[in-house]
A and B are shown apart, each in its own frame.
Chain A
Amino acid sequence: MLLINCPYCDDTLPELEFAYAGEAHIARPADPSKLSDEEWRDFLFIRTNVKGVHAERWRHINGCGRFFNALRDTVSDQFVTTYKAGEPRPEPKTLEAAE
């Protein structure tokens, strides 16, 4: 079972307490009616589907209830880091410095 660190609980807990919630950092357009059909389709459905480090949303649904973001390697299924919602995606350099 995967262990996931919740940045709000400041604790590392079993995956069973968490729910996956799709790719992170996708902002809802401020005025959807101004978008073309193609732009709206892209917002709704088109994702990067990256092979490697992926920024994604998770929710600590059976814990503190909060949404947060994580960097996870889609090849190895390893979590690189997790961070609070609203914070920018950590740069590889920041991660190296933190190690």
Chain B
Amino acid sequence: MTAHVSNLGDVTLAVVPPVARFNLRIAPGDLKAASKAFGLDLPAKVGQGAHEGDRSAWCLGPDEWLLHAPEAEQGTIVDAFAAIREKVAHSLVVISDREVAYGLSGPRATELLTTGCPIDLGRIKVGNAKRTVFDYAQVVLIRDAEDEWRLEVWRSFAPHVEALLTTAQRELASGL
């Protein structure tokens, strides 16, 4: 997919650059060991995010986390978790290329998301994230600032989601 940026309707929509992305499943009791391996205190409550330097983690479920790190550090992180696997049972799956991430920013970015999201977006605090739906496609919404979001979606659903986002963006621009 070609990375592009469109600036319309008080919203900038862009395909954001790739990152190393992981899905971590681990018993909450072993969170300390996972935090040590990742180099960041993983948040314990569903929805919460934690950030340290260029690494981020969001709790998606009672025993599930989404981890982000720079692309170049993917191998190091895989090795760090492999080193604790013998003592701490967990599953770490590299999902870097499974998703496409869209960045939405600008005064009407939140309004644009409401065209496909049934949830009350005001309840996602800055720095946090939530798995939800965008027009029936499962997505993870990350709130980076009051009017700055990232939407991560499985690659195969991306054309559908992108088409809806750009259509809604044109509607905002035309004053609808």
Interface residues in chain A, defined as those with a beta carbon under 8 Å from any beta carbon in chain B: 1, 8-11, 13-14, 16-17, 62-66
Contacts and interface: CB of A to CB of B under 8 A. Distances in A.
Given A9-B47, A64-B131, A1 B118 contact: yes
A8 B61 contact: yes
B158 to A, nearest CB: 17
Contacts, number: 41
B74 interface: no
Given A1-B118, A16-B118, A63 B64 contact: no
Contacts of B46: 8-11, 64
SS class of chain A's interface: helix, strand, loop or mixed?
A: loop
Contacts of A10: 46
Given A10-B46, A17-B119, A65 B61 contact: yes
A79 to B, nearest CB: 17
Interface in B77-110: none
Nearest to A84: B62
